[in-house]
Amino acid sequence: MSNQPRVPNLETRVKSVSKLRELVKRMDIHILDLEELNSRLEADIRNSPLTAYRLGKLKRLTDEKN
């Protein structure tokens, strides 16, 4: 008995490669969706009144120290 791994036949390798390529395409699409969502969230945070308040407070604190 040999514990050596067997190399799958050509048909099996072709199917596996095809499935992996499709999976990579789907993952790329989801990554782009996440990047777009991240950009939207960053824009929402930048434009929020709470962020403006915090930045104003930070500016006042740094101006007082100088």
- 35 CA to centre of own chain: 6
Distance CA 37, CA 43 (A): 10
pLDDT digits (tens, 9 = 90+) for 40-66: 999 999 899 998 898 888 888 888 877
pLDDT recorded at residue 1:
55
| Token pair 């999976």 in the structure block, residue | 23
| Token pair 């008995």 in the structure block, residue | 1
Query: Tokens in use for 14?
Result: 């072709």
Query: Tokens in use for 7?
Result: 């190399």
The Cβ of residue 3 has, within 10 Å, a number of other Cβ atoms equal to 4
Q: Of residues 55 and 18, which shows the higher confidence score?
A: 18
